[in-house]
Structures are given as structure tokens and as C-alpha cells.
Structure 1
Amino acid sequence: MNTKISFTIAGAQKCGTTALDAYLRRHPSLSMGREKESHFFDRESGVNWRSPDYDVLHQLYDHDAGRLRGESTPVTLFWTPAQYRILAYNPDMKFIILLRDPAERAFSHWKMKHGLGQDPLPFSTAIREGRVRMLDEGAQSMAARWFSYVERGFYARQLNHLASLFGWERLLVLRQDALSARPEAALAQVTNFLGIAPLPVAHEERRNVSPDAEHRIGDEDRAYLNALYRDDLAELRDLTGITF
């Protein structure tokens, strides 16, 4: 029996990956890991990447003969070392990627970290001077994971790198609002991509939806981020047809 994972919901963070994971757990042809985010391939310590023990990963799955194994770790799109490790593990891996307006994604990311007490900086500072934290601590630091509000929004840059390793045919890129507004149509794209039967939507999944009334992105911050993302979004449109 092939125990390898066949696909991953690879990102982007705060773009509906939890809802998609919940939908796919209902499909009888799929087996998702007991933990939503294994964080196996993005570990920077505790794994000998010259000879990794994949049993640690496979133990997250129950007996699932005949079912495709999938997992959801949204940092994968951003964390390029994980992509090389996945290439060594399964060069035929498929990637499902959900995207939303990158300025809104950055704000949602910051709200989560700020609300958890993990970032004391106000949003305006975090997306400007706060980016230096990642340079100070290194590309694979916790700061790069936690405070990459701006960096994770350069979607074309990240997709190009992932496609350079696996090919565009192994990437399915969707807008988050396609899943939330038209879940059956979006899921049809996912199941067709995976080569399995369609999944009827008995009830809609809404996960990790935070109230917007408490904080809203300011006009100045939005204009700043829109200017940063302008060229990347133009390239994203050319690559995928997706616009925001």
C-alpha cells in the first residue's frame, strides 16, 4: 500500500485553508491527518533531513487503505525549505492554494498574532519597521513565521518558486471567496484536480472567521500595501487569471 501523502493544502495562511480541510475530511476517498497542520516538512530542528523518519508523519493517519492521503500546512507556500523536502519525499505531490486580497490577508494575520499577545506592535508599525525583525533573526526564524504579514502576500513570487519545483500542472490556485461564496463549485475544482468523485455540500464550513468590526485596515495602510503588491498582483493575474 502506498502510504505517501498525495496532496497538501499549502496556503496561504488566513485564506480559508481550515474550511477547505474540514470539507475534505468528509470525502470517503480521502484520508486527512489527525492533526490539521502536521508541520513536518517545515521543521528546522528535531529532524535529520539527510535521512528523515517519515513514519513520524505517517503515524498521523489511521488505517486508510485505498484512500488518498492529504494534509494541510498553510506555511508550505511561504516556507521554501519545506518545498525542497517535499520534493525529496514525493515529487508527484499536488498543492491546493487559496488566496485572498493580500492587504486583507496581512491584516487578518496581524489581528491573530496581536490578539494572541504575540505581537505588541500596531499594524501600521508591524508592516513597515516591524519587517526588520525577520532580517535580524534570519530567514528560517520564528520571527519569519510569526511576523511575515507583508511577505506572505507576494503570491506570484511564491507560486513561481513552487511551480519551478513541481510544475504548474500540480498546483491548483483558487480565490478564498470562491470557496466561501460558491463552495460546491470550488470543491468540484478540487475533487477534479485530485481525480476523485465530487463532494456534495450538505452544510457550509466557516472556520476561523473573526469579527471585522473590532479592527479595520486604515486607508493609509491599505494604500501602502497596495503599492507594495502592485507588480506582484499583475504577475499573479498573468499566471493564474486571479485578480482582487
Structure 2
Amino acid sequence: MFKPGVMSSLPQPIVNFMIVGAQKAGTTTLWSYLDDHPDTCMAWGREVHLFDLMDTPYVQRERLDQFYAGYFQHFNGEALRGESTPAYLFHPTALTEIRRYNPDMKLIVLLRDPIERALSHYAMERAQGHERWPLWLALVLEAPRLWWHRLTPGPRIRPMFYSYASRGLYRRQLRRVFALFRREQVLIVDSRELQEKHIETLQRVYRFLGLHEMTPEPAPRRRFVTRDKVQPGLISRLWLSLRLGRERRWYQRGRFDQL
């Protein structure tokens, strides 16, 4: 997994900042911009999925940096080492494990309209073969499916496939973040601003991380294009409005400090 000598050249803990979610909210775009910064070293392969696999024999808590070393073989003395795994924000124990690994970790959370996020999530799972039900039925079955998979043995990552509306309950997830990390360790970014005001937004990210501010290249359109579109029917629209209407209004106000 890692080359001899890599561990000895890497500071420990290796990772000192993360993009932890939300899924389908622009995490790939932000990862790519941070990967371009000369003072950051981003984990190879983008999504590492380490702290959402802590309940499996695959990961040993006392050897996390050894695990990480394989993702940083390209490290060249950069001041910051980061990774992006959007499942961490929603996973029930990942944030606790992250704090245990590095209490000083800086976290970046991206938010997107929760209903748009749910539709994009569903389309992605259909395209990847994880979802076989039509949208309206997948939404109705979401709660019992998540409940069933939490009771059955195995990695707790599997229920993540079906959490279309649940992942859009941002305030609940952010309360968990702030119960574990100081406010100054967390930056919340609106995906609309990353798309529409990407230079100003990235400068804010750089300041948060303590990086020197640079002017990024003009954003290629492909960084913001999503091909996973789906048109909800009447039942789906009603269900999403019922589940996520209040969360959408909170998101649209943009007052993310008001939880």
C-alpha cells in the first residue's frame, strides 16, 4: 500500500484538514481546486473512506497514519495534507473517530439545496446500479431501509446508498459537528457561491486553512456540470417537500450559524 520511507517523511498526524461533505454538493470541485494549490497535498484518489470503515477489520485505529501513507506517496513537503470523503458528515461515528485521530482537524462542509441534492444522489445511485426502485418508492422506503441496515451485521457504509432525504437534514448533522469541534475549526461553504463566486469563495477557503491567497484558474464549466439529472413526479415532489421543506427554507436563508 505504501512505499518504504514514505511514513518517515510525512508529518503525523498526516491529515490536518478534510472536506467532509455534503455528498453531491461540490466536494469534487473543491477538492480539485485545493489539489491545485502548491501548499496542499491532497490524498490520492480523492475519496479515502477511512473513518466510515472503522467498524470493519479493514481498518485498525492504531495504524491510521500507516493506512493514510499509501494515499500520500506524492507528498513533497507541503504544509497541509487533506482528504475529501463526503460520507463523513452523515456517517454516525465518523466524526467522533476523526476527532480521536486529530482533535485539531479543520473541516470544510459544503451545503447544497437539500431537495436538489436528494435528486442528484438518487440519480447517481441508479446510474451506479445501487438503486432499483423508482424515485417515489425509494423515498418512501428510505427510513425502513436505513433502519434495517443499521440492525443487520456488516459495514455501516451500506445504508449510505439510500439516504436521499436524510443526508439533506443539515442542521442535525452540523449540530453533531459542533458538539465535537470548535466553531473556528469548521468552515461552511454554500455550493451556490462556489459555483457563482468561485474566486471569492476559494479565497475564503484559503484564509480558513491558513494558505496564502492565490487567484485560481478560471473555473472550467465541466467542474460544475452534473449529468445525474432526474425529474420528480408528483408523489416524489410532495414527499421531498414534506421531509425537506423546512431544511430547504433554512438553507435558502443562508444563515448557517443559526442551527
Does 1:210 find its partner at 2:216?
no
Cα distance, 1:85–1:122 mapped onto 2, change above 3 Å = same
User: Where does residue 7 of structure 2 map in the other structure?
Assistant: none
Q: Are 1:12 and 2:22 matched, yes or no?
A: yes
**Corresponding residue for 1:183?**
198
Give the aligned residue type for 1:29. Answer: D
Distance 1:116 1:164 in 2: 34
Total equivalences in the alignment: 240
Q: Which among 235, 239, 242 is matched to residue 227 of structure 1? A: 242
**Whole-angstrom CA distance in 2 between matches of 1:219 and 1:53:** 47
Alignment of 1:73-222 (within 5 A): 73-138=85-150, 141-205=156-220, 206-207=222-223, 209-211=225-227, 215-222=230-237
Output the TM-score relative to the length of structure 1.
0.89
How far apart are residue 73 of structure 1 and its match? 0.5
Q: For 2:44 and 2:182, how far apart are their aligned partners in 1?
A: 29
Aligned partner of 1:38 in structure 2 is 48
CA–CA distance in structure 1, aligned partners of residues 218 and 183 of structure 2: 31
Deviation at 1:160, TM superposition (A): 0.6
SS at match of 2:103: coil
Corresponding residue to 1:2 among 8, 11, 16: 11
Contact 2:20 2:107 in 1 (8 A): yes
Deviating 4+ runs (over 6 angstroms): none
Question: 2:38, 2:78 within 8 Å by CA — same for their partners in 1?
Answer: no
Alpha-carbon separation, structure 1, partners of 2:137 and 2:64: 41
Q: Contact between 1:134 and 1:141, CA under 8 Å: does it hold in 2?
A: no
Query: How far off its partner does 1:85 sit?
Result: 1.1
**Shift of the alpha carbon at 1:191?**
0.3
The runs of 5 or more residues in structure 1 that have no matched partner are: none
2:3 matched residue in structure 1: none
Match of 1:59 among 49, 54, 70: 70
Distance 1:185 1:238, change over 3 A: closer
Provide the residue aligned with 2:6 in structure 1: none
Identity over aligned pairs, percent = 33
Q: CA RMSD in A?
A: 2.2
